[in-house]
Amino acid sequence: MNRKTRHRLDLLKLLVKKEITLRYKRTYLGFLWALLNPLLTSLVLFIAFNVFMRFEIENFALFLLSALFPWTWFSTSVTMSTNTLTGNVSLIKKVIFPKHFLLLATITAQLVNFIFSLPVLIGLAYYYGSAPALNWLIGIPVLVVAQFAIIYGLALIISTANAYFRDLEYIVSVLVSLLFWMTPIVYPLDAVPAKYRALLALNPVTYLMQAWRDLFFNNMLNWHNVFISLITAAVVLFAGLLVFAKLERKLDEVL
């Protein structure tokens, strides 16, 4: 490893550490909020769909969290990445470094939060009598790579475009909220009528969230969903790199 590469890795580690520490600075529970936020959300959804509306799904808590934890990594990363460049103007203009490192740091920090949520899923799996299998050792790294690529590609597009069109951060927040209900998280994919599933297929994380659920809830690695997720990741990442390469040249001017 040459000196330049080592210097860049050290810089990325520093940015990730900054993202993690600053987010929970001066909070009493600190890093625990990374778990509490999706857990409290799942509690509300559990009461709404399993108590009041009687959405009959066996082991609903594990069913819900198996997709909600990965979704939280996705939604938080995309939302935060939207104004990552515009929110670090002083740093960008003072120090010369790859601007996309700021996005990588944001996404990686949320990945750390997701990793710390895995023991909760493991505990629930044991509780419901579905102990993790070897599929987890293969599936988790593969799906993490696919999801990281999808988030990074979207982040490159959205954060760069937001530098030119500042209203985008508000639009993205609304779209992410709408996307939640268009993703099979609180309901199974097979519950959607066949004629509407084509619409869900346009969602870049539909099959990815389904693949996570297959792994954590059904204890199986559905290669059909994994393959579609990997193809989606490659397309989104390529589009993100292309947009960023074209718009990055004038970023210093618009920022």
Comparing 36-45, 141-150, 154-163, 223-232, the range with the smallest average pLDDT is: 36-45
Q: Which two tokens stand for residue 122?
A: 């493991």
Distances in whole angstroms, Cα of residue 134 to Cα of each of 19, 142, 219: 32, 13, 9
Q: What is the pLDDT of residues 149-202, one digit of tens each?
A: 999 999 999 999 998 888 888 899 999 999 998 998 888 888 888 878 888 888
Q: Which two tokens stand for residue 189?
A: 């994919």
22 dihedral zone (left: phi>0; alpha: psi -120 to 50; beta): alpha
Q: How many domains does the chain have?
A: 1
Comparing 66-70, 93-97, 105-109, the range with the smallest average pLDDT is: 93-97
pLDDT of 111? 93
**Rounded Cα–Cα distance for residues 149 and 208 (Å):** 12
User: Structure pTM?
Assistant: 0.88
The answer to whether 212 and 121 have CB atoms below 8 angstroms apart is no
Q: What is the pLDDT of residues 7-23, one digit of tens each?
A: 677 777 777 777 777 66
pLDDT of 233? 97
pLDDT of 236? 97
Q: What is the pLDDT of residues 117-135, one digit of tens each?
A: 888 888 888 888 877 888 9
For the chain, the C-alpha Rg in angstroms (whole number) is: 19
The answer to whether 62 and 214 have CB atoms below 8 angstroms apart is no
The answer to whether 251 and 172 have CB atoms below 8 angstroms apart is no
**Rounded Cα–Cα distance for residues 123 and 113 (Å):** 17
Residue showing tokens 């750390």: 112
With a cut of 60, say whether residue 30 has pLDDT above it: no
Comparing 29-33, 36-40, 77-81, 110-114, the range with the smallest average pLDDT is: 29-33
What's 184's DSSP letter? T
3-state secondary structure of 127: helix
What are the helix (H) ranges across the chain? Answer: 3-23, 33-46, 60-82, 89-94, 100-127, 135-164, 168-181, 194-201, 206-216, 223-247, 251-254
**Rounded Cα–Cα distance for residues 196 and 130 (Å):** 31
The answer to whether 106 and 84 have CB atoms below 8 angstroms apart is yes
Mean pLDDT value across residues 25-54: 60
**Rounded Cα–Cα distance for residues 141 and 148 (Å):** 10
The answer to whether 96 and 85 have CB atoms below 8 angstroms apart is no
Comparing 20-34, 147-161, 207-221, the range with the smallest average pLDDT is: 20-34
pLDDT of 108? 93
Mean pLDDT of the chain: 84
Q: Using alpha carbons only, what angle is made at residue 209 by residues 206 and 185, rounded to the nearest 5 degrees?
A: 90
Mean pLDDT value across residues 217-240: 95
Q: Domain range holding 169?
A: 3-254
